[in-house]
Amino acid sequence: MDVWASLLDGFATAATPVNLLYALIGVLLGTAVGVLPGLGPAMTVALLLPVTYALEPTSAFIMFAGIYYGGMYGGSTTSILLNTPGESSSVVTAIEGNKMAKSGRAAQALATAAIGSFIAGTIGTVLLVVCAPIVVDFAVSLGSPSYLAIMVLALLAVTAVLGSSRLRGFSALGLGLALGLVGLDPVTGQSRLTFDIPLLADGLDVVVVAVAIFAVGEALWVAAHLRRTAAHIIPVGQPWMAKEDWKRSWKPWLRGTAYGFPFGALPAGGAEIPTFLSYVTEKRLSKHPEEFGHGAIEGVAGPEAANNASAAGTLVPMLSLGLPTNATAAVMLAAFTQYGIQPGPLLFDREPELVWALIASLFIGNALLLLINLPLAPAWARLLQIPRPYLYAGILFFATLGAYSVNLQAFDLAVLLILGLLGFGMRRYGLPVLPLIIGLILGPRAEEQLRKSLQLSSGDVSGLWSEPVAIIVYIIIAVILAWPLLQRMLPRQEKP
């Protein structure tokens, strides 16, 4: 079917009053948690997963789409007003954004972030519509060996490129793969790593693991280091921009989008590299280079656009290949599996209604985001003043509730606590969380492809590189492993 016709169908599904309501809830929730310290979009989707089991999958994903974009945007509000970026992707925004806020231009900073996010998100989603079917057509022709190679690439790339220590990334990946092993072996039905506990035979529930690592681990970690003095919040009025600001913002928006989308779509994308590249570019191209470091609007507009465009780009591999490249996509992918929907190239054939409704709701969510957030910015800023004990106790409370309601077993809560402590330890010793989650989700699927490939070649190892795509991908993997130069381009995270 024609792509644009499918998209229109998607709009028809997504624009029913009920689904619009879910999109609205998603956007509001997403922004709220993006603004709130300690909560990210991945954690929110994980916490909401159990609750959405009662919903139609389509409605649930429409809500997730809203949360995804809302969370990306909400993070920028915090970094502009507090100078304490919650997600690594908004580190760059904080550099200029907070300076602008301090010099009384918080309103303009928030406005350029909001409008830039909208433009980048919209362009990014259009690109998603264009690219995803092409990738799908290509992906359908791939066999198990190529899949295996691409999955290995995604695993290694996420681990090796992101974060400051490869060793710690690989350690986290190993732990994630180990968690993925728990349960019955899918082919022979033997139990692995279950310690004769029958409740572990079905494997660890991805929801429970995600809630434990993201929510419980985070709450415990923050609790251990709770800031004793309240952070200073800069008051903000209605966001608006003068003509001059528009003139200085639109080019950075477009350039940021151009950086963000391709990086998001790559298996190792993420938002850190494109936001940083965008910042550097704007600094070089700016007619006002002297303003950089003192609150230049270009330094907010570009990176924010890059951030949102990469969020859209991330959905290309997720929807078309079933490959998650950031934490939120990983959790959303887990949600697909929970609904019994197999992510991957066949998704567009088997669940066209769901996919196109999801994509259409990305457009809707984006527009809602702009409409809601410009007038509501002062209200969001007030959210930052919630007493911290309630906030973190609330996270623990809802984490417990969510994990328990999946199976109504107290045993799941024990798993939740143990893995929460693991998440705490990982944060303490600088192990990144993302490789663990990606390893947990992709590990079992990579194993399945490995076995399929070798079944086809009847055990001949050369079956692993029997397809040209697989060979190319393995060469890329070798390059990534041998060339840590990319890492040096990443800005070192500085403590606020």
Q: Taking CB under 8 A as the criterion, which residues in 19-78 touch another protein?
A: 37-38, 51, 53-54, 78
Per CB under 8 A, which region of 120-128, 278-286, 350-358, 452-460 contacts another protein? 452-460
Among residues 103, 165, 238, 385, the one that binds another protein under rule CB under 8 A: 165
Which residue, 367 or 396, is less far from another protein as judged by CB?
396
Q: 441 and 180 in contact (C-beta within 8 Å)?
A: yes
Which residue, 105 or 427, is less far from another protein as judged by CB?
427
Among residues 455, 481, 483, 489, the one that binds another protein under rule CB under 8 A: 455
Under the criterion CB under 8 A, does residue 164 sit at the interface with another protein? Answer: yes
Residue 88: CB partners within 8 Å, gap ≥ 6?
270, 271, 272, 493
Under the criterion CB under 8 A, does residue 223 sit at the interface with another protein? Answer: yes
Instruction: Please state the closest distance from residue 434 (CB atom) to another protein, in A.
Output: 12
Instruction: Please state the closest distance from residue 172 (CB atom) to another protein, in A.
Output: 9
Residue 260 corresponds to which amino acid? G
Which residue, 117 or 159, is less far from another protein as judged by CB?
159
Under the criterion CB under 8 A, does residue 445 sit at the interface with another protein? Answer: no
Under the criterion CB under 8 A, does residue 11 sit at the interface with another protein? Answer: no
**Paired tokens of 5:** 């016709």
Please list every residue from 93 through 122 that binds another protein, using CB under 8 A: none
What are the b/e assignments for 11-46, b being 16+ CB within 10 Å? bebbeeeebeebbbbbbbbbbbbbbbbbbbbbbbbb
Under the criterion CB under 8 A, does residue 487 sit at the interface with another protein? Answer: no
Please list every residue from 349 through 408 that binds another protein, using CB under 8 A: 387-390, 392-394, 396-397, 400-401, 404-405, 408
Which residue, 133 or 444, is less far from another protein as judged by CB?
444
Under the criterion CB under 8 A, does residue 447 sit at the interface with another protein? Answer: yes
Radius of gyration of the chain (CA): 22
220 burial level (CB within 10 Å; 0-12, 13-18, 19+): buried
Which residue, 294 or 428, is less far from another protein as judged by CB?
428
Which residue, 170 or 246, is less far from another protein as judged by CB?
170
Q: d(Cα 110, Cα 377) in Å, to the nearest integer?
A: 8
Which residue, 92 or 175, is less far from another protein as judged by CB?
175
Per CB under 8 A, which region of 202-210, 217-225, 237-245, 330-338 contacts another protein? 217-225
Among residues 13, 171, 307, 366, the one that binds another protein under rule CB under 8 A: 171
Q: d(Cα 396, Cα 348) in Å, to the nearest integer?
A: 37
Under the criterion CB under 8 A, does residue 488 sit at the interface with another protein? Answer: no
- Distant-in-sequence contacts of 295-298, Cβ < 8 A, 24+ apart: 295/96, 295/97, 295/99, 295/100, 295/101, 295/102, 295/103, 295/105, 295/109, 296/96, 296/100, 297/96, 297/100, 297/105, 297/108, 297/109, 297/112, 297/245, 297/248, 297/249, 298/96, 298/248, 298/249, 298/252
Site pattern 305..344 for another protein (x: CB under 8 A): ----------------------------------------
Q: 431 and 171 in contact (C-beta within 8 Å)?
A: yes
What are the b/e assignments for 139-168, b being 16+ CB within 10 Å? beebbbbbbbbbbbbbbbbbbbbbbeeeeb
Among residues 224, 242, 285, 478, the one that binds another protein under rule CB under 8 A: 224
Which residue, 3 or 454, is less far from another protein as judged by CB?
454
Under the criterion CB under 8 A, does residue 201 sit at the interface with another protein? Answer: no
The DSSP code for 459 is T
Per CB under 8 A, which region of 119-127, 161-169, 272-280, 468-476 contacts another protein? 161-169
Under the criterion CB under 8 A, does residue 458 sit at the interface with another protein? Answer: yes
**Paired tokens of 205:** 């529930």
Under the criterion CB under 8 A, does residue 491 sit at the interface with another protein? Answer: no
**Paired tokens of 337:** 């599996």
Q: 17 and 24 in contact (C-beta within 8 Å)?
A: no
Among residues 17, 198, 340, 459, the one that binds another protein under rule CB under 8 A: 459
- Number of residues counted as binding another protein (CB under 8 A): 79
**Paired tokens of 135:** 């990738």
CA angle centred on 297, ends 294 and 298, rounded to 5°: 110
Residue 109 corresponds to which amino acid? A
Instruction: Please state the closest distance from residue 316 (CB atom) to another protein, in A.
Output: 28
Q: d(Cα 325, Cα 313) in Å, to the nearest integer?
A: 10
Q: d(Cα 185, Cα 326) in Å, to the nearest integer?
A: 27
The residue written with tokens 């791939």 in the block is 142
Site pattern 247..286 for another protein (x: CB under 8 A): ----------------------------------------
Instruction: Please state the closest distance from residue 19 (CB atom) to another protein, in A.
Output: 17
The DSSP code for 232 is P
Instruction: Please state the closest distance from residue 194 (CB atom) to another protein, in A.
Output: 9
Please list every residue from 405 through 444 that binds another protein, using CB under 8 A: 405, 408, 410, 413-414, 417, 420-421, 424-425, 427-431, 443
Q: d(Cα 401, Cα 207) in Å, to the nearest integer?
A: 12
Residue 435 CA to chain centroid, in angstroms? 12
Instruction: Please state the closest distance from residue 383 (CB atom) to another protein, in A.
Output: 12
Per CB under 8 A, which region of 18-26, 82-90, 105-113, 204-212 contacts another protein? 82-90
